[in-house]
Structure 1
Amino acid sequence: MLSSTVRKHGLAVAGVCMMLLIGTACSDTKSADSPPAGSQSSSTPGASTTPGDDSSKPADDPAAANIKIVPAKGASAVRPDKPVTVTTTAGTIQDVTLKDDDGDKVSGTLNSEKSQWTSAEGLKPGATYTVSGTAQGTDGKSIEIDSTFTTLSAGSSLKASVAPLNGETVGVAMPIQIFWNRSVTDKAAVEKRLKVTTSVPVEGTWHWMNAKQVNYRPKAYWPAGTKVTVDINTRGVNAGGDVWGASSRKISFTIGRSVVSHVDVAKHVMTVAIGGKLARTIPITAGKDGFTTRSGVKVIMEKFKTKRMDAATIGIKPGDPNYYNISNVQWAQRVTSSGEFIHGAPWSSGSQGSANVSHGCVGMSLKDAQWFFGQTLRGDPVVVTGTSRHMETGNGWTDWNQSYSSYKAGSALA
């Protein structure tokens, strides 16, 4: 339209161009083949720098690349959860780089026509971003892409800690656990940014334990040997209120061989199956009256070759007949937060296989305890039966103590 006017009214259009140059936002793109003066102008007179505005650069020649960038050049307080787009109505986009003031790049994708680039990740709160690149018009000429904007500052930043650790090999019952440093009120928005990828098909679900923890478990135990990757793509997500995701992270771990143990408290025996086959039957002792061992699916949380066990940690004070303080309990494996372990207990050898005399732990000979310690990984399940006392939610890694359908109902996206 403008070029047509130029052909017909050269002098008049010069005046129009001068008015546009004075009254519009400055250029976001520069032609690599044309002189900068008078070659391009903004299509949005009086363009503002508020979030969501775009920067656009129509060319005088309809065959030239015509660049539009959202958000606008110089925009401030841009929401970190909104995508950045670079669009041309003529020709193709050759390349786009979006990076913050620390030099960290944000990935993006081109559509099939290469006419629009869209960022694929969230942005950091309180950061200045630069958009750069080139586009090529159907006339074969290149146009530079050049823009900057600033995202809004977060009142609080959301960060994640994760179990298992990156590169760890864990047992078949290991839940993925994400611990947030801030309470999440928009759980659905955050959960949409979480992704689990497995080397073999595995059905699973997220489950919110509380506002600061979300877990993931499969429908059944993880298949042995599975490679698992967890993408926590929370940079730029609004977790509710003025809490924004400050960063994203990715961890990968491997599922070890299947080691599933069963403890029958009433029969004073533990069986260990490795790869689905019985590997050993072990005489044990469990909790006596007043210290009943909990029944349920427990998961090995920690492993210690030696561990001090002080009854004061469970509320039994020195002077009490049940008080103990043993400095070197061997081959100890924690299965509850409240203090139940599976460990070597040479002091109860006379009761192992026949009576329950412990303060809640599962005790066995040092030889059996050392063997068992050598077979297990963090995340291996220990299924306990034979008592009327049951596992409390959150007393350890209790994800397997409810049906899958009930567990799935704890997803914010269910």
Structure 2
Amino acid sequence: MVSGSVRKHGLAVAGICVMLLVGSACSDTEAGGSPSPGATQSSGTPGASTTPGASTTPSPDPGAASVSVVPAKGATSVKPDTPVTVKTSVGTLKDVRLKDDDGDTVAGSFNTEKNQWTSAPQLEPGASYTVTGSAEGTDGATVPISSTFKTLKAARNLKASVVPLNGETVGVALPIQIYWNNPVKDQAAVEKRLKVTTSVPVDGSWHWVNSKQVNYRPKNYWPAGTKVTVNIDTQGVNAGSNTWGSASRKISFAIGKSVVTRVDVKKHTMYVTINGKLARSIPITAGKDGFTTRSGVKVIMEKFATKRMDARTVGIKPGDPEYYDIHDVKWAQRVTSSGEFMHGAPWSSGSQGSANVSHGCVGMSLANGQWYFQQTLRGDPVIVTGTTRKMEPGNGWTDWNTTWAAYKAGSALS
């Protein structure tokens, strides 16, 4: 049996222990001592995470921009198809520009991080270039960029002449034709720089006629009303044999209404279809024996309200019974390089619709010739049938006499 005094003494000791425990806990907090194992500290910042294991990634030390430019400053004989690159290993690039000695700017672009800028690979041969701009380091300081270099001189420059003309409205059969001033050895490299865009989908192909000419036509005639742009982006292209593209060009043109002409030599009749509907049947005369009109798909190349026609241009000399020299042939439209035309021919009115009496041209009355002239555009097709004499390749714009498979095979990228 425990005495009352002992019980009171025990309670007193327990009370002292509780006070010591409480006092010890308060003392640790107020003194800033280390928490006991497993305890969690709060940052005291509202919303701060107290999840065990959470950490904060320290910011990198600030640093100055460190810029490199390729080609190197002062470089010479740089290949024109070399892209210019500007990089910084610290920070970002600002407002990089590449200009030639005429002040023309070369296109370029930044990467996503804006720590690299790359130009288009289209420098002009034999030119000086200047790179300017700036880079900003992570220290906030701006570092200027300035570098110059020169491209190599080409043995031959490559430039293009183009059919049709910029802004021209042409017929539905006109092939785009690019004529180079120098032969192209690496036709694939050059063709990669050629692009045709259209306002409506068109399936088309490039076709190399020879080393100095490449043409483009659609699989079928151009849709009436189509808008077409040709981008000849050949500045800086390596055409082979130290021939380099020295200029780029862009032309735009439009396709007019659909005017398709069919000439049946045996029936001595020409049928003109406009936008899919027969507009007029015209009595004609074509080439007589020895001057047979060629059959095939021809394309109107030139138009003359009045044209002098001298037989000497086709090898017939004065004194020959077949010689002629007519100074005022009306409504003449050329369809072959060798001299076939569609034109008014009042001197053969008695034979039109019944006999072939010309030297190869398709003749019609002056009234019909004028009407037809007013309907057509350069590039409209003239399909001739009824003779055994065929169109020779290259005797005019003869692209449509080649099968589509063979035409596509003429691409350097096929």
TM-score in terms of structure 2 length: 0.84
Residue matched to 1:9? none
Question: 2:211 matched to 1:211?
Answer: yes
Q: 1:87 deviation in Å?
A: 1.4
2: CA distance, partners of 1:399 / 1:305? 26
**Residue 121 of structure 1, CA deviation:** 4.3
Match for 1:172: what amino acid?
A: V
- 1:67 CA displacement: 1.3
Residue matched to 2:200: 200
The answer to whether 1:363 aligns with 2:363 is yes
Separation in 2, partners of 1:308, 1:242: 44
Cross-structure match for 2:170: 170
**What are the equivalent positions in structure 2 for 1:243-254 lying under 5 Å apart?**
243-254=243-254
Q: Distance in 2 between matches of 1:364 and 1:147?
A: 69
Query: What does residue 14 of structure 2 align with?
Result: none
Amino acid at match of 2:228: V
> Equivalent residue for 2:331?
331
Q: Which residue of 2 aligns with 1:315?
A: 315
Q: How does 1:297-308 map to 2 (within 5 A)?
A: 297-308=297-308
Q: CA deviation at 1:89?
A: 2.2
**Within the alignment, does 1:256 sit opposite 2:256 as a pair?**
yes
- The residue that corresponds to 2:231 in the other structure is 231
Q: What is aligned with 1:159?
A: 159
SS at 2:401 equivalent? coil
The reply to whether residue 400 of structure 1 matches residue 408 of structure 2 is no
Match in the other structure for 1:74 = 74
TM-score normalized by structure 1? Answer: 0.84
CA deviation profile, 1:164-191 (whole Å, cap 9, x unmatched): 0011010111111111110111111111
- Contact 1:107 1:121 (C-alpha < 8 Å) held by counterparts: no
Distance (Å, rounded) in 2 between the aligned partners of 1:197 and 1:112: 28
Matching residue of 2:64: 64
Are the structure 2 counterparts of residues 121 and 227 from structure 1 closer, same or farther at C-alpha, using a change threshold of 3 Å? farther
Structure 1 stretches of 4+ moved >4 Å? none
Distance 2:368 2:251 in 1: 34
How far is the alpha carbon of 1:75 from its aligned partner? Answer: 0.6
Code of the residue aligned with 2:402 in structure 1: it is Q
Structure 2: distance between partners of 1:256 and 1:121 = 36
| Partner SS state of residue 400, structure 1 | helix
Point out where structure 1 has 5 or more consecutive residues left out of the alignment.
1-60
Larger displacement relative to structure 2 (102-111 or 300-309)? 102-111
Structure number with larger C-alpha Rg: 2
Deviation digits for residues 382-403 of structure 1 (CA, Å, limit 9, x no counterpart):
1111111111110000010011
Distance, in Å, in 2 between the alignment partners of 1:202 and 1:66 is 49
Instruction: Give the drift of 1:68.
Output: 1.6
Q: Does 1:290 align with 2:290?
A: yes
In the alignment, the residues of structure 2 paired with residue 200 and residue 112 of structure 1 have an alpha-carbon distance, to the nearest angstrom, of 33
- 8 A contact 1:108–1:121 mirrored in 2: no
- Corresponding residue number in structure 2 for 1:276: 276
SS at match of 1:225: coil
After superposition, the C-alpha distances for 1:204-258 in whole angstroms (9 at most, x for unaligned) are: 1111111111101011111111111111111111111111111111111111111
| Preserved contact between residue 228 and residue 253 of structure 2 (Cα < 8 Å) | yes
Find the counterpart in structure 2 of residue 3 from structure 1: none
| Shift of residue 62, structure 1, vs aligned partner | 6.2
Q: Retained in 1: the 8 A contact 2:270–2:282?
A: yes
Contact 1:134/1:142 (CA < 8 Å) preserved in 2? yes
Q: Which amino acid aligns with 2:159?
A: K
Counterparts of 2:385 and 2:135, CA distance in 1:
68
Cα deviation code 1:262-286 (max 9, x no counterpart): 0011111111111111111101100
SS at match of 2:174: coil
CA RMSD of aligned residues (A): 1.0
Q: What SS is found at the alignment partner of 1:406? A: helix
* Deviation at residue 90 of structure 1 after TM alignment: 2.3
Q: Which runs of 5+ in 2 are unaligned?
A: 1-60
Per mean C-alpha deviation after superposition, the further-off stretch among 142-151 and 86-95 is 86-95
Contact in 1 for aligned 2:84/2:121 (Cα 8 Å): no
The one-character-per-residue Cα deviations of 1:105-156 (angstroms, maximum 9, x if unpaired) are 1011112222211112410111110000112222322221111001001111
Partner of 2:77, secondary structure, is strand
AA of the residue aligned to 1:357: V
Tell me the secondary structure at the aligned position of residue 124 of structure 1. coil
Residues of 2 paired with 1:309 and 1:86: CA distance? 62
Equivalent pairs, count? 354
- C-alpha distance after superposition, 1:323-353 (max 9, x if no partner): 1100000000000000000000000001111
